[in-house]
Amino acid sequence: MTGLARVEDAALLTGQGRFLDDLDPLPGTLVAAVVRSPHPHARIRAVDLEKARRAPGVAAVIGPEEVLETLRPFPLSVRTPHPYYPTATDKTRFVGEPVAVVVASDRYLAEDAAELVEVDYEPLPAVVRTDAALSPEAPLLHEGSDGNVATDRTFTFGDVDGAFAGARRVVSRRYSFPRYSSTPMECYVVVADWREGPDGPEITAHANFHGPFSMAPVVAGALGVPTSSLRLVVPADIGGSFGIKSGVYPYIALMALASKHAGRPVRWTEDRLEHLVASSSGSDRLMELEAALDEDGRIQALRVDLVDNVGAYLRPPEPSTLYRCFGNITGAYAIEAVGIRARAVVTNKSPTGLNRGFGGQQLYFGLERLIDDIAAEHGLDPAEVRRRNLVPVTAFPYATPSGGIYDSGDYQRALELALDNVGYERLREEQRAARADGDWMGIGIAAVVDPSATNIGYVGLATPVADRTARRGKSGSTEHVRVSVDPQGVVTVLLGTVPQGQGHATVARDLVAAHLGLPVEQVRARVEMDTASTPWTISSGSYSSRFAPLLTSALLEAADRLAASVTVAASVILEVEAERLELADGVVRVVDDHERSVAFRHAAGLLHWDPGSLPDDVDARVYEEAAFTPPQSKAASRTDQINSSLCYGFVADVVVVRIDRETLTVRIEHLSSVHDAGTILNAQLLEGQVHGAITQALGGALFEEMTYSDAGQPTAGTFMDYLCPTSAESSFPLTSDHLQTPSPLTRLGAKGCGEGSSMSLPVAIANAVADALRDEGVEITSLPLHGNVLHELLTTVKGT
């Protein structure tokens, strides 16, 4: 099932995309500008809004007082005394934190008036570095808590201490992972309207928010209304996200409040400066990993100590970066015992959240660097260490010590394919020759498990078992969909999957058409999320690669139900029992007598026009909804284990780099990437996801970093300093290949495929650079790796 061109492309490529900033869903909307803190950490002594309120064109100005008067703190994922509101209230805790909102007739006037908001700040010492934030002497961000550690949990699965005591060798390393983002084309946009209704406030918000919709009750909680009083509408085109736009939700609450005060709907369009300093990013992480090994380099046990720097607040869904990969924390390896410490610290940086690969790139940077360091200590080829430790093909379904159930895979075959596709043995020879010529050539490998279809129950792990209320657990990964048929027999799929550009409509159309035996033109996919009318639940949204495994499973179920209704109608027309009928070639026909058939559209038409002809016990169903609820997605166990995703795919990257001796630029000479995402639904879209994930990884590995000065000022606040790779930097030879080991748990065997190399390639590149500089005594323990960083590393080594 491959090959349809994306139905989304024509509009997007001809400038006909309809992004929220192009739309005017609520006539009479005013425009907001946000006043933001210039200080990383400061007490707010006083806020004077009067001058701004008197400025031309201004309808309302709100600040901490108005926020505290109406809003409640956002409910957090963990009980911790860190109240989080959409603006600063007592103190500002990061540069760019909202302090006030000015609503005016246009953005120019709003920005003019914003300059008249007077805030009396008392600057406080700031802390930005993770290690510094852990110190008891560090400036305290949240009074009422006894330190900056927002969550700290320790887990032991299997006989970890015994394995370390009996180990032939222990390899232990400290690594850090940088903070970077996804930089979508369109930044955050919210259009919000607050009205008083018969049952209290009714809030309508249009936002380019793509879930997780567990944030809908979080916003409703802050607004003090039931979730059904908050109507969220998402446009079909959201301008990209890659996770980052999940962080728009605090602004939904803030703009709703601004609308309440302005008495009119309010639009806020985030500009790039706001986006780069104050929206969201992946979390940076400090980590220590330790492996207990036998004489052959087989890992007997693993200890991981992870400290995420989540910025100023534990903004939901954080601390999920720590837990998203909990069930696959041992990666692609058969490791029977693992000890985990998972902490998140708050610092005077902007809050973190989803970023393509969510938690994977951080985890695998540690794990896959460690594998290479193990190889170096044992004098083994890094491919060989991986071969010895990979989960064997005979072991599936494979239970990890932390609760993951790997549904299917053939890791050896995928790794060998990635190695063969780049001619690994020949490359090693080439490398020996290059080294003899003084060339810095390196080969890096990463082999990772790619989790998809998150079980949101992992969030529960941040709360200790004793504090988790029985029967109030969190679990699941349900996906809903609605399919309908019109009087002409045209089938419509209503997708509430809030795609970010993945091509959901293309795949849904393709699948339903094939399933119902219809030409694709007879199936339409409508991308529309309106929480007042689209079927949805907490786990809805486009995140953690949910569409391919989950939505398609629900979709075929809904299509089956619709097919059943149409078949009954056909049986009336053909006077044949429904059991003897099948759908094919746009008709409903008798299985063993294809001549006896009726057009699908006529059968469907009967459901609309002549339901009286149906058998008495049959309803004329023209809408069918289905939900797919995988039973394998359970809440965390009393032993703290969790199957944190439904599906587990696999990625092997082998990357060849050469480092220019003059400029120290890392040049990628070849990348061989093999993905196993189960059944491939659309080869072209899969390849697009591979390319996208690779480019994003390239950014994190070589270019992008959200840097801060030690005093807490962001130092990459514009595109002059926050460098995303462009097409010029992203062009290198790529051999992309695929394996298909279908998941037994999803209807089509499909797994997610949107994140793969964004998890694996950053560390593969780091491994390649480490390999290239092996003889220079340089240790690669972080990213990004660009000339300035390598110069510093090389001169430091020389100096010692």
DSSP-assigned states of every residue in 198-240: TTEEEEEEEE-----TTHHHHHHHHHTS-GGGEEEEE-S----
C-alpha–C-alpha distance, residues 483 and 629, integer Å:
18
Of the candidates 146, 196, 437, 662, which one interacts with another protein according to CB under 8 A? 662
3-state secondary structure of 697: helix
Per CB under 8 A, does 470 bind another protein?
A: no
Amino acid at 644: S
Buried b (16+ CB within 10 A) or exposed e, 660-688: eeeebebebbbbbbbbbbbbbbbeebbbb
- Between 488 and 795, name the residue whose CB sits nearer to another protein: 795
703 binds another protein (CB under 8 A): yes
Strand partners, 339: 156, 303
Other CB atoms within 10 A of residue 608 CB: 15
Instruction: Please give the C-alpha separations between residue 105 and each of 109, 260, 261, 272, 592, in angstroms, as whole numbers.
Output: 7, 16, 14, 21, 69
Give bridge partners of residue 204 from the DSSP assignment: 193, 231
Instruction: Tell me which stretch binds another protein (CB under 8 A): 84-92, 485-493, 726-734, 769-777.
Output: 726-734
Q: Is 107 in the site for another protein (CB under 8 A)?
A: yes
Least CB distance to another protein at residue 251 (A): 16
User: Residue 51 interacts with another protein (CB under 8 A)?
Assistant: no
21 is an interface residue for another protein by CB under 8 A: no
Q: Which contiguous run of DSSP H or E holds residue 193?
A: strand 189-197
Instruction: Look at phi and psi of residue 624 and say left if phi exceeds 0, alpha if psi is from -120 to 50, else beta.
Output: beta
Specify the stretch interacting with another protein by CB under 8 A; choose among 13-21, 80-88, 89-97, 716-724: 716-724
The answer, yes or no, to whether the previous bond of 123 is cis (omega within 30 of 0) is: no
By CB under 8 A, which span of 141-149, 219-227, 316-324, 787-795 interacts with another protein?
Answer: 787-795
Site residue total, another protein (CB under 8 A): 28
Q: Does 159 bind another protein (CB under 8 A)?
A: no
Q: How far is CA 148 from the centre of its chain?
A: 25
Task: Specify which residues 654 forms β-bridges with.
Answer: 445, 672
Site map for another protein, 727-766, x if CB under 8 A? Answer: -xx-------------------------------------
Cβ at position 289, least distance to another protein in Å? 27
Residue 519's region, left for phi above 0, alpha for psi from -120 to 50, else beta, is beta
Binding region for another protein (CB under 8 A) out of 378-386, 587-595, 660-668, 749-757: 660-668
Q: Is 182 exposed, middle or buried (0-12, 13-18, 19+ CB in 10 A)?
A: buried
Dist CA 256 CA 265 (whole Å):
8
Cβ atoms within 10 Å of 351's Cβ, excluding its own: 24
Q: Do 339 and 302 meet the contact criterion of CB atoms below 8 Å apart?
A: yes
Q: Which of 412, 629, 637, 707 binds another protein (CB under 8 A)?
A: 707
Is 639 one of the binding residues for another protein (CB under 8 A)?
no
Under the criterion CB under 8 A, does residue 610 sit at the interface with another protein? no
Q: CB nearer to another protein: give 102 or 253.
A: 102
Would you count residue 710 as binding another protein (CB under 8 A)? no
- Nearest distance, CB of residue 36 and another protein, angstroms: 12
Residue among 178 and 457 whose Cβ is closer to another protein: 178
Q: Please tell me whether residue 54 binds another protein under the rule CB under 8 A.
A: no
Q: Is 271 in the site for another protein (CB under 8 A)?
A: yes
- Taking the complex as a whole, the smallest distance from the CB of residue 469 to another protein amounts, in Å, to 46
The answer to whether 154 contacts another protein (rule: CB under 8 A) is no
Under DSSP, is residue 314 helix (H, G, I), strand (E, B) or coil?
Answer: coil
Residues 6 or more apart in contact with residue 386 via CB below 8 angstroms:
332, 333, 371, 415, 445, 447
Among residues 75, 715, 777, 798, the one that binds another protein under rule CB under 8 A: 715
Q: Least distance (Å) from another protein to the CB of residue 731?
A: 10
**Residues 505/528, Cβ–Cβ less than 8 Å:** no
Piece in contact with another protein (CB under 8 A), picked from 268-276, 431-439, 468-476, 768-776 = 268-276
**Quick check: 716 binds another protein (CB under 8 A)?**
yes
Q: Judged by CB, which is closer to another protein: 570, or 664?
A: 664
Q: Does 284 bind another protein (CB under 8 A)?
A: no
Span between the terminal Cα atoms of the chain, in Å: 59
Q: Which is nearer to another protein, 560 or 729 (CB)?
A: 729
Say what angle helices 552-574 and 600-609 make with each other, to 10 degrees. Answer: 80
Q: How far is the CB of 440 from another protein (least distance, A)?
A: 15
792 binds another protein (CB under 8 A): yes
Q: Cβ 583 to another protein, closest distance in Å?
A: 52
Closest separation between CB of residue 784 and another protein, Å? 10
Which is closer to another protein, CB of 20 or CB of 664?
664
Residue 726 binding another protein, by CB under 8 A: yes
- The reply on whether position 580 binds another protein by CB under 8 A is no
Interface positions with another protein (CB under 8 A): 107-108, 111-112, 271-273, 662-664, 703, 705, 707, 715-716, 720-721, 723, 725-726, 728-729, 786-788, 791-792, 795
